Chains A and B, each alone.
Chain A
Amino acid sequence: MSGHAVDVGSSRFEPSTFQVNDKKLGMWVFLASEVMFFTGLIGSYIILRWGAASPWPMPGEVLNVPITAGNTFILICSSVTMVKAFAAIEEGDQKMLRIWLLATAFIGACFVGVQIYEYTELIHHGFLPSSGLYGSAFFTMTGFHGLHVTIGVLCILWVAMKSFRGSYSQADHQGVEVIGLYWHFVDLVWIILFTIVYLI
């Protein structure tokens, strides 16, 4: 990318080293800290499992893999609708921006709904955060991710509300781009979590 100051909408700062506007740079720095946060969780999981004295449950033994695989697909779909929202406003298409944003928020909420269903079923079958290392690691990792998705849905609804007020334009749509980055990151984290927690 050959970014220039004139191209970055209403940014008040000259993009320098990173050649992006200030909001986007801020989001990337935040995401870098989020990588550390989730690596802390995933790292603890790997270490706990590596050093566990008793055998760790195999894939599908405790967790419902088919439902979660479906939920993974749902989250991937929401990433596509998000990127479509961004593509729409890049073309200056306000209507499609609103539709895709609402679709993303809805699909994201569905993901959280399925996760709540999954938790309910697991708890019903006696698998709790207090069920040993596996239980506490599972609920901590997926719980923090679910919290991120929930916050993401609320933020997307906020951006959607602003889009109805006409806050974004073809020339200035940093808000859509920045929430998009966050949303895709949450999707990316789930891709890793799903593999490590459910399949391995």
Chain B
Amino acid sequence: MSAEGKHQPRYMAVFGGLAVLTAIEVAVAFMGFERRVTVILLLGFAIWKALLVALYFMHLKWESRSLKILAVAPFFPAAIMVIVVMMEKF
């Protein structure tokens, strides 16, 4: 971001998006959908919100490819760790 200060995202639009998604999330949690549907919807909304914060507030959208890879990299070993431990259950 520092190299190109002209990328001024519409922060208030992102803020509105986050607020609305949070309200929808709380509503979905208590709407009494089938458990599996609720979990998938909520995780989807949470990832959507996390992406909004990372891409716009943290300006990841305008960073170099290498920095994007650095930001995403830790999720892979983390996912492997969780999946491997969960496999014990099966």
Query: A3 near B3 (CB under 8 angstroms)?
Result: yes
Question: In the complex, which residues of chain B have a beta carbon less than 8 angstroms from the beta carbon of A120?
Answer: none
The dominant DSSP class at the A interface is: helix
A25 to B64, CA, bound (A): 11
Select one of A1, A25, A32, A180 contacting B74, CB under 8 A: A32
A93 to B45, CA, bound (A): 35
Question: In the complex, which residues of chain B have a beta carbon less than 8 angstroms from the beta carbon of A148?
Answer: none
Query: B22 near A72 (CB under 8 angstroms)?
Result: yes
Q: What are the 10 tightest A-B residue pairs by CB atom distance, in nearest-first order? A: A39-B78, A3-B3, A195-B46, A199-B29, A19-B64, A35-B74, A43-B82, A7-B3, A184-B57, A188-B53
* A interface residue numbers (CB < 8 A to B): 1-4, 7-9, 17-21, 24-25, 28-29, 31-33, 35-36, 39-40, 43, 46-47, 50-51, 59-60, 65-66, 69, 72-73, 76-77, 79-80, 82-84, 87, 90, 174, 177, 180-181, 184-185, 187-188, 191-192, 194-196, 198-200
- 9 A-B residue pairings within 8 Å (CB atoms): A1-B1, A39-B74, A60-B30, A77-B15, A80-B15, A83-B57, A184-B57, A191-B53, A199-B42
